[in-house]
Amino acid sequence: MKTQPSMLTRQVMIDGLKYIASGGFWLKNSHLPRLNHPVPDDFMGLCVATNADPATDAYVLAQLQTLGVKRVRLDMSDDDARPYQERFLRSLLDAGLAVTLHVVQPFEAARNMRSPAVQSAWAEFLSALLQTHATRIAALEIGNTINRKKWAGYDMPGFMLAWQIAYDLARQHRVTVVGPNIQDFEPLYNISLLKTLGQDRRLPDVHSNNLFVERIVEPELADFRIFKHKWTRILKFNLIKKARLLQKVGDDMGVPVMVSPVAFWAIYRIKRRFPDGAQKQADYVTRYFTLLAASGVLQQANWGAFICHREGLIDDGLHDAEYPALERVAYYKAADGDVARYQPNPSFAAFKTASHWLNGAQYMAPVCTGQGLEIHQLSQNGQTVHIAWTLNGQCALLNQIYTPHSLQQAQLFNRDGEALASLNMLTESPAYLVWPSADQVVLRTTRPSLSGTVIHAHIAGLQYFPIEEGDWRGMILAKDAAQAQQLWRAWHPETLQPPAKTAALRHARNAIWSLPDPRDPTQQVTVKKPVRMYWHKTLLDRHKPSKAKRSWNGAMELLRRGVGTAMPLAYIEHANDPSLRRNFYICAFVAHQFALSKAFLAFRQGDSHFEGLSAETLYHAFARFCLHMHNSGIYFRDFSGGNILVQRQGEQLEFVLIDTARLHATPTATMIKQRLADLTRALHKLHWEGRKQFLQMYLGMTGRRLQWQFLMPFVVYDCKVWLKRTIGRKGLRKLLRYLKARFV
C-alpha cells in the first residue's frame, strides 16, 4: 500500500512523457482565443447544495431563477447528508434545471475500495440512485480529484474499481458519463488516466478537469509555477492555453468534449494581497468566464461553491466557523448556516451579468489580448458586445481606443450590469460596451494600448477623471465631474508655483509644499514638483514616466494592496518637457506623530523608549507592516526611515509611506533579496543589536531563522553609505564647505 502512490506517479510520468515526446502537446498559438465560435447556451453553471432545512432549497432555487441559470452540478454521497441531497435533487429537477449529479464516495470508503463490502455498498448506492433519477438527470460525473489523494482517498486500483462499477451502471441506465475530474492543470494525469480508461473500454462521454488558476492571482496571467518564473513568458501557459491543451488531450484520447466542473477564487486568499477581496473576486468571475468562453473548447464551466463565506457568490455569514475537513472542491456537502444570514457577494451580480452576455453568444475575436489590456468581441442577439478590462491596476483611456462617434453609439454597463451614463476609461473591473450592429464599432487604432497610469479600481465614492488640456496630461481623483473641475481650476499647473525655500516643507531636488484643500480649506494637501535634475538623470529618465506619474502609480499600488500611504489626489505633467521638471504630484497631507528614522536614531543613542513606545513594541509592529507590504508584492526601493511615517492611536500603530516614485510592484510576493534591500535602508539608523532583534521578528514571521547571510546586505549598505558620504557627492560638498569656512 505504501508504494502505490509512487507507482501511480511513475505510470503517469511514463504515459505523459511518451505523449509529449510524440508531439501530442503541440498546438500552435494555443495561448490565444479561437476565432468565430459559438458559446453554448448553458455555458455558465453553478455547483449547488442545500442542508437539512427545506427553506434552503427554496432559497437556492429563487437565487438560481434570479441569475437565469439553466444548469447546475450537485454533489451526492452515501452519508448523513444523502436524505436532504436527494430531496434537493428532486426540487431542482422539478424546477426544470439540467442537473449533473456528481457522485462522491465517502473518504474512508474510497481509501478501502478494494474491500468487497465497500464495493458492494458503492454499487447499491449508485444503483438505487440511478433507478430513481437516471431518466431525469443530464449527466453522472464520476471521479473526485484523483490527483489529490488527501481529498479523494483513492489509490489507482481503488479508483479504477470505483470507476468500473459506476461506469457500468451508468451505461445500463443510458446516462451520459462525465469524468475523471482532475484537479488544476496537471495534464500528465489527464493523459495517463484517459489512456488507461480507453484501454479498459470505459472512456467517459465528457472529459472533466477543474480549471483552477486562483493561485496565479489574476486569471489572465501565465502560470509562473510551470518551470518557474524564467520560463513564464516563453511558455505562455495562461488559462486559454491550459483549456485548449487539455481539450486536445481529451480529443486525442477519444473524448473531444470537455467541461470544468468547479473553480473559484477564495476571498481569503485574495485578501492576502488585496484588501477588497470581495470586489476582486467579482472582477475575476467576469474575466475568468470570458476567457474560458474565448478559448472555444469548453462545453460547460461551473463556479462553486454557490453558498460559502470563503468562495461563494453568496456569503453564508459563518466567517468564524471552521471550514469542512474535506475541501468543498472535492465534496460540496452542504450549504452551511441559516438562510436568514445569507447575503449575496458582489460576485453574484457579476456572474449574472456575465452569463447574460456570454451564454448563447457567438465569440468573434479578441480586439486586444495578452498585453495587459483585454477586449473581447462577441455577437449576442444581433448586437455587438465588447467585454473589456485591464490587468494589475492599469487603465486604458476609451477615447484612445474608440472614435467619439462610436462611443456615443454604445450602451455602457459596468461589471454588475448597471447602465452607465458615461465611461472614460477601462480598469481591472470589467465593463461592457454594446452596439446595435458591428459597423458602429470604429477603433482609433488596430493596436489599443494602456495609458501607463495605475489606479485602484475600488475606492468607494470616488472616480477618476483624465486631464487633457493643451499639452497638459494627468489624472484627478474626485467624487464627481464638478469636483474634478474645481480641483483642476485650483491646481492648474500654469498657476501652481513652488514657494521660496524657507516656506517649503522640503526644497532640494524636489520642492514639496502644502496648500489648503479646495474641498475643505481646514485641511491641507501636499504638492511635489521636481526643481533640479542631474544631467545624467535628464538623459537616463527621458523615456520614463514623469516623476509625478511614478509617484501616483506607486501610491496607487500601495492603496490597491492595503499598504498605508498618503491618498493620491492628482498628477499633472507636460507632454513636451525635455527638462523633466514640469510635472506635479498632489496628495493628501499626512498627520503623523513621527518619522521612523527619528525613533531609530533615538534607540541608537541609547534610549529604550521613544514617544512612550518601547523599542520592542515598535519593532514588532513595523515587522508586521513590512511583512504585509512584501507579501503583497511591493518592493519600495526608497524605504528610508524618513519616508516611513508613524501614526499612533493609543497602542495601535499605523505606518504610512511617502515618496513612492521608485516603487516596484509585482503580482506575487517580493523575493527575499529585494526584501532585505528594503530593510537595509529602513534600519540604517538603528544600532546593530536593534537590527538583529528586528530581523529575528521579521524572519520568524516568514518561517526563517536569522543567519549570517541575512546580515551581509546591511554591512554592504553601511559601506556604500560611508563611501557616498566621504568620496561621493555628499562627501565632496562637505569638503568644499570645510575648505570655504577654513580658508575664505
Confidence of residue 651 (pLDDT cuts 50, 70, 90): confident
State residue 517's pLDDT score.
Answer: 96
How many other β-carbons are positioned within 10 Å of the β-carbon of residue 543?
A: 5
- The predicted-structure confidence for 306-331, as pLDDT tens digits, reads as follows 999 999 999 999 988 887 778 899 99
Report the candidate in 44, 57, 45 with the shortest Cα–Cα distance to residue 335. Answer: 57
Alpha carbons 178 and 261: distance in angstroms, whole number: 9
- The pLDDT tens digits for 95-142 are 999 999 999 999 999 999 999 999 999 999 999 999 999 999 999 999
Cis peptide before 410 (omega within 30 of 0): no
Model pLDDT, residue 729: 66
Contacts of 704 (CB under 8 A, 6+ apart): 710
- The pLDDT of residue 580: 92
- Mean pLDDT within 363-384: 96
pLDDT attached to residue 4: 43
* Cβ burial 23-49 (10 Å sphere, 16+ → b, else e): ebbeeeebbbbeeeeebbebbbbbbbb
Helical (H) or strand (E) element with 510: strand 510-517
Q: What is the dihedral of CA 377, 379, 380, 384, to 10 degrees?
A: 70
- pLDDT tens digit string along 411-470? 999 999 999 999 999 999 999 999 999 999 999 998 999 999 999 999 999 999 999 999
pLDDT at 12 over 50: yes
Nearest-angstrom CA–CA distance, 253 and 202: 12
Overall average pLDDT of the 346-371 stretch:
97
At residue 131, the pLDDT reads 97
The rounded mean pLDDT for the chain is 93
Q: Looking at residue 3, what is its pLDDT? A: 38
What gap in Å lies between CA 637 and CA 662, rounded to an integer? 6
Q: Which three cell numbers stand for residue 405?
A: 462617434
Whether the model pTM is above 0.75 = yes
Separation between Cα atoms, residue 123 and residue 648, nearest integer Å: 65
How many Cβ atoms from other residues are within 10 Å of residue 96's Cβ? 7
pLDDT for 5: 45
Copy the grid coordinates of residue 467. Answer: 486631464
pLDDT tens digits for 678-713? 999 999 999 999 999 999 999 999 999 999 999 999
Q: What is the mean pLDDT of residues 487-499?
A: 94
**CA-to-CA distance for 104 and 261, rounded, in angstroms?**
13
pLDDT reported for residue 322? 80
Q: CA-to-CA distance for 305 and 281, rounded, in angstroms?
A: 13
Strands 383-390 and 98-104: unpaired
Q: Residue 344's pLDDT band (boundaries 50, 70, 90)?
A: very high
Which grid coordinates are listed for 685? 539608523
* Secondary structure string (H, E, C) spanning 326-355: CCCCCCCCCCCCCHHHCEECHHHHHHHHHH
In the predicted model, what is the mean pLDDT of residues 634-663?
94
Q: What sign has the CA pseudo-torsion 533, 536, 542, 548? A: negative
> What was the pLDDT predicted at 276?
94
Judged by DSSP in three states, 22 sits in coil
Q: Are 138 and 99 in contact (CB under 8 A)?
A: yes
Q: How far apart (Å, rounded) are the C-alpha atoms in residues 287 and 375?
A: 10
At 21-45, the pLDDT tens digits run 998 888 999 999 999 999 999 999 9
∠ at Cα 692 (686, 696), nearest 5°?
Answer: 130
